[in-house]
Amino acid sequence: DIEKLDNINTKLKKLAQKHNVQILKKQDFQCRMNEKICFGVTDQGKKIYYDNYHYTLEGAKFFGKKIFWEPKFLESKNV
């Protein structure tokens, strides 16, 4: 139900603001929107997605590294 999902998202946003935690949008790290590219495999050709909702271990590692080293995400970490 969309209303229930909106309510959960609102609560998560408030909680994140309260604790100074950044919420990431999936499209910010799963895709390069300006190039109209979304990742389906890692740099080594391994599957990123197990199914429509879950990452493979290789996919989670791939996105974790991408998020950690992406300049727009580095700003909030003071690295």
pLDDT of residue 79: 45
Q: Which two structure tokens, joined as six digits, stand for 20?
A: 């100074």
The DSSP H or E segment spanning 3 is helix 2-18
Number of residues that make up the chain: 79
For residue 17, count other CB atoms closer than 10 A to its CB.
10
* pLDDT tens figures, 35-72: 999 999 999 999 999 998 899 999 999 999 998 888 77
Token pair, residue 69, equals 């080293």
Q: How far apart are CA 10 and CA 16, in angstroms?
A: 10
